[in-house]
Amino acid sequence: MALLIWILQNFWSLLVLSFATLVGLRIAYRFRKYGATRAELSHILRRSPFYLVVLIFCFFAAAPFMIMFLHSFKVDGDLYRRPQPFIYRQDPTLEHLESLFTNTAYLDFIRNSVVVGVAVVIITLILALPAAYALARLTGRWGERAGILMFLVYLVPPTLLFIPMFRIVVMLGLKDSPLALIVVYPSFTVPFSMWLLQGFFKAVPPELEEAALVDGYNRVEAFLRVVLPLSLPGIISTIVFTFTLTLHEFIYALVFITNTSRRTLSVGVPTELILGDVYFWQPLLAAALIIAIPVGFAYNLFLDSLVQGFTMGAVKG
């Protein structure tokens, strides 16, 4: 506890210090490896403007998260006093974090979101994998048209659809249940994933499947044994993308579910932590940050294949 408070109070100096240490270590490592020659020194000098620019962009990208992190631990007095202190004036506190987990249904929100997300991902894959494969291999005019038609579905905004969708959900008796979201979310995740997967499948040469056909397999086996393993990076990035789509969906989740403990993160957090015009900033920021970190990691891991998927779809139409 004392350690945490010390870290928070010295956050900026620690940040600068750790960065300087890293740079120092790198320079020391290169000195050891190549010797402190003039060439080495001039190399460091030449590269330094580049790293400076990178550093500035890193700061831009990371600043919101750092501010979220710092504010989560501030007492009210510190947060609302003007001018905003750069760092803590009063001791940081854990009470807001505690209240997020004890006074709100935050854990329920996470559980609901994960359940809905995983279920939607599974449904999406079951529907989108064969559909995308069919579209990728149906090279005639109809395949392309069908693909564009299905993508158009994705462009119809939920704000237009939530009232009719609500009627359907009530008719199915799914109101106030996460099942409602599991049923409705594939309406936008399937077209999108299909589009993404189609690009990955098109990148697999058809000759490989034909080879599998001649080697003694039927088309389904050829798909499972050759096409799927080859487009695995694409499939994983589609999973990540579909999951985030369900994670930040707001309007369906807001309308279909009114029972607090059955809500998902995207609705639960703002409705619980914003009462009228009172914003409970510290738990709000903490709630957002906690969920953003794993998603951010997942994105970073699959960033390359994600970008590849989008551009492949773009080039091949």
Is 226 or 255 the residue whose CB approaches other proteins more closely? Answer: 226
User: Which phi and psi (to 5°) does residue 180 adopt?
Assistant: -55, -45
Distance of CA 95 to the CA centre of its chain: 28
Contacts of 245 (CB under 8 A, 6+ apart): 185, 188, 189, 192
Which distant-in-sequence residues (6+ apart) come within 8 Å of 250 by Cβ? Answer: 266, 267
C-alpha 84/C-alpha 87 separation (Å) is 8
Q: Which burial class, exposed, middle or buried, applies to 120 when counting CB atoms under 10 A from its CB (0-12, 13-18, 19+)? A: buried
224 belongs to the binding site for other proteins (CB under 8 A): no
Q: Which is closer to other proteins, CB of 10 or CB of 139?
A: 139
Pick between residue 140 and residue 294 the one whose CB is nearest to other proteins. 140
Q: Cβ 83 to other proteins, closest distance in Å?
A: 59
- Residue 220 touches other proteins, criterion: CB under 8 A: no
Q: How far is the CB of 145 from other proteins (least distance, A)?
A: 17
Nearest approach in angstroms of CB 144 to other proteins is 17
Among 82, 167, 207, 276, binds other proteins (CB under 8 A): 207
Q: How far apart are CA 17 and CA 29, in angstroms?
A: 18
Cα four-point dihedral sign 180, 181, 183, 188: positive
- If the CB atoms of residues 91 and 215 are measured against other proteins, the closer one turns out to be 215
Among 1, 160, 214, 220, binds other proteins (CB under 8 A): 214
- Total number of residues that touch other proteins (CB under 8 A): 16
Given 65, 69, 154, 217, the residue binding other proteins (CB under 8 A): 217
Minimal distance, residue 217 CB to other proteins, in Å: 5
Among 91, 98, 215, 304, binds other proteins (CB under 8 A): 215
SS3 label, residue 278: strand
> Could you tell me the smallest distance in angstroms from the CB atom of residue 190 to other proteins?
27
Is residue 208 part of the contact set for other proteins (CB under 8 A)? yes
Coil, helix or strand at residue 274 = strand
Among 41, 107, 211, 293, binds other proteins (CB under 8 A): 211
Per CB under 8 A, contacts with other proteins among 296-315 are none
| Closest CB to other proteins among residues 69, 217 | 217
Could you tell me which stretch among 42-50, 66-74, 79-87, 225-233 binds other proteins (CB under 8 A)? 225-233
- Collapsed DSSP state (helix, strand, coil) of residue 297: helix
Binding status of residue 277 toward other proteins by CB under 8 A: no
Nearer to other proteins, 33 or 141 (CB): 141
Residue 92: closest CA among 271, 293, 274, 286: 286
Among 115, 122, 230, 292, contact with other proteins (rule: CB under 8 A): 230
What one-character DSSP code corresponds to residue 175? T
Output the furthest CA–CA distance in the chain (Å, rounded): 78
Residue in 100, 184, 226, 257 binding other proteins, rule: CB under 8 A: 226
Q: Tell which residue, 83, 210, 200, has the closest CA to residue 133.
A: 200
Q: Could you please report the per-residue DSSP string of 229-262?
A: HHTHHHHHHHHHHHHHHHHH--HHHHHH---GGG
Position 213 contacts other proteins (CB under 8 A): yes
Write out the residues near other proteins by the rule CB under 8 A: 205, 207-208, 210-218, 221, 226, 229-230
